[in-house]
Structures are given as structure tokens and as C-alpha cells.
């Protein structure tokens, strides 16, 4: 076989790739050198997905997920594309094509992470909420009070016609569908509060009530739209724009996209958004076919082989067992990196061949290691996982996000640059096997460990680079709605099964460093210290001094056995029932129900639902079916605490006896 470096690409291939890079990176194609890497020119893994989709569309060449790494140079990519086109190299390509559904209003399944949020809204998990959602409000100036309300309503209506997921509903059995535009309640309507004539006390009270209500009671797509938008009109041309978005129907990428498109439409009555050739339902139904392909099986095997060696979460000390805590909101710690420092941080990362996200993963790992007292831990990562099935995918609103488990192990005696390089390798290798969702990997790991407790309650999320990947600049002005004051921005996140989540994202030209956490679990001083330590570390990286210093880390690789109540060691509840055939009519009824749902014989009253092939969504359906046969059924959480035939029967009896 001819070596890769000796197979020159056709000139038209190189020219097209050069144009694609220029388009994605905002560069003049003539200035892109053949030996320049995508990373050093400002690219990242999110933009690499768009690059792959554009190559697929414009050159009719399928690239493997592992091919499109941020380190690839333009010359190497051109050479690879030429070989793919000629059929001269093996490829682990995506084996599905996206197809438009014949009926755009037909039901389609929930994605794995959507299933997790759905079960959480049924109080299935510890650290659950009535709604999994994101809330934010931002200050407005120069508002036209006579036009603003009508402009917002018109913009939201046009956006709901353009983005079908704004008309999505989730059914009680855990599927989703799109309402036709003329269906009652299909188009979300904004609510407007005119507080211009109110006194100061009434304005403060009303704004506080709006924030509290929208933070603690998010939009519920089981009963209405998955988005709630409100506008407060204040004296002096001021106002506030309040937005709550259900995580069941929209991810972080969608939130950014939706805000930008809404403001574009509000600013101009005649604005027209570029049409979309596909929607989220098309993506989900096409992706569902992946489960029957060899690449999906290969990714599953890759993850399964590593699960027995997976470490527990970081051993952060707890003030309470998460099972006993009923949070209403998550606490927040936030800091911003100035535009100058954020620019320098990106430059420092590019010089060392790592993405900013990889550097932030390493920084978070360092802080957690010092906090927990050990260096090996399992983190959960929220990924903007939009597979390159179509060039429009980055412009579609939907719940595309997925999780990915990251076994982090920090070596001693290493500089931060070495730790960041290792984090970069970990992210690159794991992302190359992302056809299998982290939710599915977590289910398998929980099954092997015999637990229903959260596998990855500490979450890393980075959306750095998303602004460039979306491809549109964030509007600072929205016509009658006025100018947005991003320095006056408040936000609140509620997501089930998460004890602590770090988020890195861009806000205009700054980088935000945010902790969202269940305050009841942790010592406030420890949280403050960890967040402040993370900010100091990131600032040292931006200034350049932190990269070449040997990082001070604990000597212990794993948490001590006697470390007390920590996230790494949570007590299990429930007693294993005595094995044997079902003992009474109720246990027989449950066994038959499970056989119908799971398609396997259920002969043992000690048989565990998840060992038999069940999952949390099927657990909700099992309880819904059982409710038609018995007077009272337990909660999803009670079922998950004792997920055996005998355990469920006992929970039914206990509920009936209350």
C-alpha cells in the first residue's frame, strides 16, 4: 500500500478543503498553509464535526470519527479524503444516512440522556427535580415598550415554525412527537409583565417571584411547550428577558442557537432564517439504526472492556447521603476570565497542541484530586454529541447531548502541560468511540457493580468553541427588545443525579468558570476553596506561568478505605430477597408483566430488573402498566431501590398499607 504521505491529493480536493477550513475558522483560504493543523488555526472538536459533515456533503466522502482529529493538517486531510474517494483506505465510517421521516409528526424514541431526564422528572433518581431545566435572565436597555411585547411574540411564533422541537411533546410512556403548528397550544406564547408604573418594592418583589418560579418550576414538555419565555418591562427603557428551557427537548447548543435566532427575528420583522433540510426527529430515527451495525458494536465492546477497571467517583466528603436530600435548586459559584486572558489562554493551548477543553479537564482534575485526596477518579462528561450526518445538524434545536464517562488518572511529578496532554489524549480516544452513549455505558457499569446509585455524580462540561461552531455571532441588540447587558446575567441549572458540575463556556469575549452543585451535600468552605483554586489555576495558565510547573498532587492513587461518607463510597439499601419462584398472585403478576416488557422468562422472585435487560425508562413503563392492575404502585425511586420481583411486590404492599 502506498504510504499516506506519498499519495498527493487532487487539486480540486485540496481547494475545496481549503475553502471549508476558511469558512469554519473565519480565515482567508489563501493564508492557510498545508502543514497547519486544524487546532493551531483555532479549530476544536466541535468544529471538526461540522468539517466532517461539510466534507460528506461537498466531496461525497465519508470520514471516520477517529479520522477527524483536531491535530490533523490540511495536507494530511486532503490526502486522506483523496484516498477515501479512491477507495484505497479502510474506513470506520458512520454506516447510516439521515433520512427525512415520511410523517414529521410521527412519534420517535427518546435519546438515552432524554430518558435519564424523563425518569428524573418521575422522581426516579436521587437528587431528582420536578423538572430538569436551565433558567436564565438578562438585563435589557433601550427597550421600546410599545413594540417589544409584540416583537417578542412574533419572533417566538416564527421560530416555532422554523424549529419543530419548540412544538415537541413527551408522552407518558416515554416517546416524543411534534405537534402541527395549528394544534392547540403548539406555539409557545411569551408572558409580559409591565412594571413601568410599579413602585420599587413591587418591582423587586415581582422580579424575585418570576426568577424563583422559573428556576424551581421549569417548562414541562409532558404537558406543554418545553420553553418558557417572559419579558419584564421596567422604567427608563429597561427590562429583563427571562428564559427557561427543558433539558428534555433542548441541549446547551440548542439554547445558544435558540437565543441567537430569537433575537435575530425580534430585531427584524422581515428577517428570514435559512431553511432546515432535517429536524431532530429525522436525526434520532436515523441514529436508532446505528444500534444494529458493526461500528456501534465495536464501540460498545471498546467501552465494555474497560468497565471492570473503572475507578469510582472522587471521594469528596459529604454532609448527607444524596438519597436523603431533596434539593429544589442547585447552588452556583461563578467567575469570568477577562477577554484578554481568554485570548491568551487559547493561544497557550494552541502552542502546546491541546484544546482549551482538554486543559480545563486537566485543571478540574487537579482541583478534585486535591479536594478528594487521591489521583484516580471517574468523571462524567456532558458532550455536544452531534454526529455529522448532515451539514444542517449544527443549526437544529433538539436534545442531542450525550454523556461520556472519563476515567481520569493524574500522574505524579508531571507538569501541567503533561497532564493537559494526557487529558487531550483521553478526550480524543473516548470521543472516537462515541456511538455508544455514556448513559448506556453507565447502565452497564451499574449492573456490574450491582447498584442503582449514580455512577458519575461529578460532571465536567465544556462548550468552549461552541460559538464558532454555531456559526453566528451572539447579537447584542434585538430591535424593540433593546440591547442585552450580559454583565447583568443570572442563571440556574437543575439536572438529576448530579452532585457537582463544572461548566466552562463563552459569554461574548469572556470565559465563564461555573460550579453548579447540591449545596446540602458539601461543606460550603470546601466548595468555595475548590472553585477559587480552579480560578487561580486557570488564570496561571492564561498568564503562561502554570504550564511548566510540576503540579502538586496527593500521593494516594485511590481513596482510603476509611474515608467516611463520600461520593466514592455510598451505602446501598435494600436486602436481597430469598430466591425461588413467585410466592403469591402479586409476584406472579409482576413476573408476567416483566416477561412481556423484557422478552425474557422471569422465573425467580429475586431476579433483578436491570440484570434481565431492563432500564430506567422500562421501569417507568412497568409501573404504568402495573398501575392498571393494582390499586397503588410505589414511586419509581422505591422500585429502583429494590428492583426485584419480590422487592416490587413488597413496595406495592407497603404503599397499599399506608
> Over the stretch 255-303, which tens digit does the pLDDT of each residue have?
988 999 999 999 999 999 999 999 999 999 998 888 888 889 999 999 9
pLDDT category at 5 given cuts 50, 70, 90 is very low
pLDDT category at 3 given cuts 50, 70, 90 is very low
pLDDT category at 92 given cuts 50, 70, 90 is very low
Residue 284, pLDDT score: 95
pLDDT category at 7 given cuts 50, 70, 90 is very low
| C-beta atoms surrounding 222 within 10 Å | 17
Residue 471, pLDDT score: 60
State whether residue 596 is helix, strand or coil.
helix
Residue 73, pLDDT score: 86
Residues 6+ apart with CB under 8 A from 38: 21, 25, 47, 48, 51, 70, 71, 72, 73, 74, 77
pLDDT category at 46 given cuts 50, 70, 90 is low
Contact 511, 332 (CB under 8 A): no
Q: Which residues pair with 168 in a beta bridge?
A: 178
As a whole number of angstroms, the distance between CA 382 and CA 493 comes to: 14
DSSP H stretches of helix in 60-92: 74-86
pLDDT category at 209 given cuts 50, 70, 90 is very high
**How many whole angstroms from its chain centre is CA 131?**
16
As a whole number of angstroms, the distance between CA 170 and CA 173 comes to: 8
Residue 1, pLDDT score: 30
* Least confidently predicted of 21-25, 110-114, 374-378: 21-25
Contact 504, 364 (CB under 8 A): no
In Å, the largest CA–CA distance within the chain is: 79
**Positive/negative CA dihedral, 646, 648, 649, 650:** positive
pLDDT category at 84 given cuts 50, 70, 90 is low
pLDDT at residue 93 is higher than 60: no
Residue 36, pLDDT score: 83
Closest by CA to 84, choosing from 65, 64, 61, is 61
Q: What is the pTM of this model?
A: 0.84
Residue 109 parent element (H or E): strand 108-109
Classify 140 in phi/psi space as left (phi over 0), alpha (psi -120 to 50) or beta. Answer: beta
Residue 87, pLDDT score: 56
Q: Which residue has the higher pLDDT, 563 or 18?
A: 18
Residue 162, pLDDT score: 97
pLDDT at residue 2 is higher than 70: no
Closest by CA to 133, choosing from 195, 225, 53, is 225
Q: What angle do CA 452, 497, 426 make, to 5 degrees?
A: 95
pLDDT at residue 165 is higher than 90: yes
Considering the chain, what is the average pLDDT of its residues?
89
Residue 297, pLDDT score: 92
Residue 474, pLDDT score: 66
As a whole number of angstroms, the distance between CA 615 and CA 115 comes to: 9
| C-beta atoms surrounding 522 within 10 Å | 23
As a whole number of angstroms, the distance between CA 539 and CA 343 comes to: 12
Q: What angle do CA 641, 108, 634 make, to 5 degrees?
A: 20
C-alpha R_g of the chain: 25
How much of the chain exceeds pLDDT 70, in percent?
Answer: 93
As a whole number of angstroms, the distance between CA 25 and CA 19 comes to: 10
Residue 66, pLDDT score: 54
- In this prediction, residues 19-40 reach a mean pLDDT of 85
Amino acid at each position: 500500500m502506498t504510504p499516506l504521505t506519498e499519495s498527493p491529493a487532487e487539486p480540486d480536493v485540496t481547494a475545496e478543503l481549503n475553502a471549508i477550513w476558511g469558512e469554519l475558522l473565519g480565515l482567508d483560504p489563501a493564508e492557510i498553509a498545508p502543514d497547519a493543523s486544524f487546532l493551531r488555526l483555532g479549530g476544536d472538536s466541535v468544529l471538526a464535526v461540522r468539517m466532517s459533515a461539510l466534507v460528506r456533503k461537498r466531496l461525497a466522502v465519508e470520514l471516520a470519527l477517529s479520522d477527524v482529529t483536531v491535530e490533523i493538517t490540511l495536507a494530511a486531510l486532503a490526502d486522506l479524503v483523496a484516498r477515501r474517494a479512491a477507495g484505497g483506505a479502510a474506513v470506520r465510517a458512520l454506516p447510516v444516512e439521515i433520512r427525512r421521516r415520511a410523517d414529521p409528526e410521527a412519534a420517535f424514541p427518546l435519546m438515552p440522556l432524554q430518558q435519564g431526564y424523563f425518569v428524573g422528572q418521575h422522581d426516579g433518581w436521587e437528587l431528582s427535580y420536578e423538572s430538569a431545566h436551565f433558567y436564565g435572565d438578562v438585563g435589557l436597555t433601550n427597550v421600546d415598550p410599545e413594540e417589544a411585547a409584540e416583537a417578542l411574540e412574533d419572533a417566538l411564533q416564527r421560530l416555532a415554525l422554523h424549529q419543530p422541537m419548540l412544538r415537541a411533546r413527551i408522552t407518558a410512556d416515554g416517546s416524543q412527537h411534534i405537534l402541527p403548528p395549528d394544534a392547540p397550544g403548539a406555539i409557545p406564547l411569551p408572558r409580559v409583565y409591565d412594571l413601568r408604573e410599579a413602585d420599587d418594592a413591587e418591582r423587586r418583589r415581582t422580579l424575585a417571584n418570576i426568577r424563583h418560579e422559573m428556576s424551581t418550576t421549569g417548562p414541562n414538555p409532558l404537558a406543554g411547550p418545553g420553553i418558557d419565555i417572559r419579558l419584564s418591562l421596567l422604567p427608563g427603557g429597561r427590562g429583563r428577558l427571562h428564559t427557561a428551557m427543558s433539558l428534555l427537548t433542548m441541549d446547551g447548543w440548542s439554547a445558544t442557537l435558540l437565543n441567537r435566532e430569537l433575537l435575530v427575528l425580534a430585531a427584524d420583522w422581515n428577517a428570514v432564517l435559512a431553511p432546515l433540510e432535517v429536524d431532530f426527529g429525522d436525526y434520532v430515527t436515523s441514529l436508532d439504526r446505528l444500534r444494529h451495525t458493526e461500528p456501534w458494536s465495536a464501540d460498545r465492546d471498546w467501552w465494555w472492556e474497560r468497565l471492570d477497571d473503572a475507578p469510582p467517583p472522587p471521594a469528596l466528603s459529604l454532609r448527607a447521603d444524596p438519597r436523603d436530600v431533596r434539593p429544589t435548586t442547585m447552588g452556583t459559584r461563578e467567575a469570568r476570565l477577562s477577554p484578554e486572558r481568554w485570548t491568551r489562554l487559547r493561544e497557550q493551548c494552541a502552542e502546546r497542541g491541546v484544546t482549551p477543553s482538554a486543559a480545563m479537564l486537566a485543571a478540574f482534575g487537579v482541583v478534585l484530586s486535591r479536594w478528594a485526596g487521591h489521583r484516580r477518579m471517574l468523571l462524567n462528561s456532558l458532550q455536544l454529541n452531534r454526529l455529522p450526518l448532515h451539514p444542517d445538524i449544527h443549526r437544529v434545536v433538539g436534545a442531542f447531548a450525550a454523556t461520556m464517562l472519563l476515567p481520569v488518572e493524574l500522574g505524579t511529578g508531571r507538569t501541567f502541560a503533561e497532564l493537559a496532554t494526557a487529558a487531550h489524549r483521553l478526550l480524543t480516544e473516548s470521543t472516537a468511540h462515541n456511538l455508544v452513549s455514556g448513559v448506556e455505558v453507565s447502565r452497564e457499569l451499574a449492573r456490574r457493580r450491582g447498584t442503582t446509585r449514580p455512577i458519575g455524580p461529578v460532571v465536567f462540561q465544556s462548550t468552549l468553541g461552541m460559538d464558532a461552531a454555531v456559526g453566528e455571532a451572539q447579537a447584542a441588540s434585538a430591535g424593540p427588545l433593546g440591547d442585552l447587558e450580559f454583565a447583568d446575567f443570572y442563571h440556574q441549572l437543575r439536572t438529576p443525579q448530579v452532585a457537582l458540575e463544572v461548566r466552562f463556556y463563552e459569554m461574548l469575549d469572556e470565559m465563564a468558570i461555573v460550579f453548579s452543585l447540591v449545596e446540602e451535600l458539601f461543606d460550603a468552605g470546601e466548595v468555595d476553596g475548590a472553585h477559587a483554586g480552579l480560578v487561580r489555576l486557570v488564570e496561571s495558565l492564561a498568564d503562561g506561568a502554570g504550564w511548566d510547573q510540576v503540579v502538586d498532587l496527593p500521593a494516594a492513587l485511590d481513596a482510603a478505605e476509611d474515608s467516611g461518607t463520600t461520593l466514592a463510597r455510598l451505602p446501598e439499601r435494600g436486602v436481597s430477597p430469598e430466591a425461588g419462584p413467585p410466592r403469591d398472585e402479586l409476584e406472579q403478576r409482576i413476573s408476567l408483566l416483566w416477561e412481556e416488557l423484557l422478552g425474557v422468562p422471569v422465573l425467580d422472585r429475586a431476579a433483578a430488573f436491570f440484570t434481565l435487560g431492563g432500564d430506567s425508562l422500562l421501569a417507568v413503563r412497568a409501573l404504568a402498566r402495573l398501575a392498571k392492575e393494582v390499586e397503588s404502585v410505589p414511586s419509581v425511586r422505591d422500585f429502583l431501590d429494590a428492583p426485584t420481583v419480590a422487592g416490587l411486590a413488597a413496595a406495592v404492599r407497603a404503599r397499599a398499607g399506608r
